[in-house]
Structure 1
Amino acid sequence: MRQAARLLFGRGARLRWVHLILGGALAMPYVLVGTVIIGPATGSTDVFGSFPLQLASFGVGLPIAAVTSLFPLTRPLEAAAVRWLCGVDADRLAFGPARTRGEKRRTAAWFTLHLGFGGIIAGMSLAVPPFAAVLVLLPLFAGLGGTRLGLPEVLDHAWALALAPVAGAATLVALAGCAAGCGALLARWAPELLGPSPEGRLAAAEARAADLAVRNRLARELHDSVGHALSAVTLQASAARRVLDSDPEFVREALAAIEDTTRRTVGELDAVLGVLREGDGPGTAPAPTLAGDLDGLLSRTRASGTRVTATIDADPEALPPLLSREAYRIVQEGLSNALRHVGHRVAVDVRIAVAGGQLEIIVENPVTGPAPSRPGGGHGLRGIADRARLLGGTSTAGPTTAQTWRLHVHLPMKGPV
Structure 2
Amino acid sequence: MPYVFVGSVIVGPLLGEDAVFGSLTAQLAAFAVGLPLAAITALFPLTRPMSVAAVRALCDVPGESLADGPARSRTARGRTVTWFTLHLGFGGIISGMSLALPPFAGVLIALPFAAALRGSRVGMPEVFGEGWLLALSPVIGFASLVALAGCAAGAGTLLARWAPELLGPTPADRLAAAEQRAADLAVRNRLARELHDSVGHALSAVTLQASAARRVLDKDPEFVREALTAIEETTRRTVGELDAVLGVLREGDQTAPTAPAPTLAADLDGLLKRTRAGGLRVRSAVELGPQGPDALPPMVSREAYRIVQESLSNALRHAGPDATAALRIALDGTDLEILAQNPLPATGAASRRGGGHGLRGITDRARLLGGTAEAGPVDGTWRLRVRLPLKGPHDHDHDPKKPQKPQKPQKPKESA
User: What's the TM-score once normalised by structure 1's chain length?
Assistant: 0.76
- AA aligned to 1:290 is L
2:151 match: 175
Deviation at residue 134 of structure 1 after TM alignment: 6.8
1:333 match: 310
How has the CA–CA distance of structure 1 residues 46 and 319 changed in structure 2, closer, same or farther, with 3 Å as cutoff?
closer
CA-to-partner distance for each residue in 1:28-78, whole Å, 9 max, x for gaps? 122122223333333333332332332121011212233344445444444
Alignment partners' CA distance in 2, 1:214 and 1:390? 13
2:28 match: 55
1:322 maps onto 2:299 in alignment = yes
**How many residue pairs are counted as aligned between the two chains?**
376
CA-to-partner distance for each residue in 1:100-146, whole Å, 9 max, x for gaps? 766655544343222212211222334445566677x76xx865589
- AA aligned to 2:357 is H
1:302 match: 276
Q: Aligned to 1:367, what secondary structure does the other structure show? A: coil
1:408 maps onto 2:399 in alignment = no
Deviation at residue 235 of structure 1 after TM alignment: 1.4
1:392 match: 370
1:30 maps onto 2:8 in alignment = no
1:265 maps onto 2:241 in alignment = no
Alignment partners' CA distance in 1, 2:300 and 2:63? 43
- AA aligned to 2:283 is T
CA-to-partner distance for each residue in 1:317-366, whole Å, 9 max, x for gaps? 44333222211111111122233345545433323333344322222331
Q: Which moved more, 1:173-182 or 1:387-396?
A: 173-182
2:203 match: 230
Q: Aligned to 2:362, what secondary structure does the other structure show? A: helix
- AA aligned to 1:298 is L
Q: Aligned to 1:279, what secondary structure does the other structure show? A: coil
The answer to whether the Cα contact below 8 Å between 1:83 and 1:90 also exists between their aligned partners in 2 is no
Q: Aligned to 1:276, what secondary structure does the other structure show? A: coil
Alignment partners' CA distance in 2, 1:29 and 1:223? 60
CA-to-partner distance for each residue in 1:141-181, whole Å, 9 max, x for gaps? 86558974959444544xx4895687367425513432323
1:67 maps onto 2:40 in alignment = yes
Alignment partners' CA distance in 2, 1:134 and 1:147? 7
Alignment partners' CA distance in 2, 1:347 and 1:390? 30
1:292 maps onto 2:266 in alignment = yes
Deviation at residue 203 of structure 1 after TM alignment: 5.4
Matched ranges for 1:368-387 at <5 A: 368-369=346-347, 371=349, 378-387=356-365
CA-to-partner distance for each residue in 1:263-297, whole Å, 9 max, x for gaps? 11111111222342342357443222222222221
1:363 match: 340
Alignment partners' CA distance in 2, 1:81 and 1:177? 16
Alignment partners' CA distance in 1, 2:37 and 2:293? 70
How has the CA–CA distance of structure 1 residues 47 and 239 changed in structure 2, closer, same or farther, with 3 Å as cutoff?
same
The structure with the greater share of residues assigned to helix is: 1
Q: Aligned to 2:385, what secondary structure does the other structure show? A: strand
How has the CA–CA distance of structure 1 residues 196 and 172 changed in structure 2, closer, same or farther, with 3 Å as cutoff?
same
Q: Aligned to 1:44, what secondary structure does the other structure show? A: coil
- AA aligned to 1:331 is V
The answer to whether the Cα contact below 8 Å between 2:278 and 2:316 also exists between their aligned partners in 1 is no
1:354 match: 331
The answer to whether the Cα contact below 8 Å between 2:55 and 2:160 also exists between their aligned partners in 1 is no
How has the CA–CA distance of structure 1 residues 392 and 164 changed in structure 2, closer, same or farther, with 3 Å as cutoff?
same
Alignment partners' CA distance in 2, 1:170 and 1:184? 21
Alignment partners' CA distance in 1, 2:141 and 2:21? 30
Q: Aligned to 1:245, what secondary structure does the other structure show? A: coil
Alignment partners' CA distance in 1, 2:3 and 2:255? 51
User: What's the TM-score once normalised by structure 2's chain length?
Assistant: 0.76
Q: Aligned to 1:286, what secondary structure does the other structure show? A: coil
The answer to whether the Cα contact below 8 Å between 1:124 and 1:175 also exists between their aligned partners in 2 is no
Alignment partners' CA distance in 2, 1:59 and 1:379? 65
How has the CA–CA distance of structure 1 residues 74 and 92 changed in structure 2, closer, same or farther, with 3 Å as cutoff?
closer
Q: Aligned to 2:308, what secondary structure does the other structure show? A: helix
Alignment partners' CA distance in 1, 2:198 and 2:106? 74
The answer to whether the Cα contact below 8 Å between 1:218 and 1:272 also exists between their aligned partners in 2 is yes
What percentage of aligned pairs have identical amino acids?
A: 62
Structure 1 alignment gaps of length 5 or more: 1-27
- AA aligned to 1:291 is A
Structure 2 alignment gaps of length 5 or more: 395-416
1:46 maps onto 2:11 in alignment = no
User: How well do the aligned residues superpose, as a CA RMSD in angstroms?
Assistant: 3.6
Question: In structure 2, which of residues 178, 190, 194 is the aligned counterpart of residue 221 of structure 1?
Answer: 194
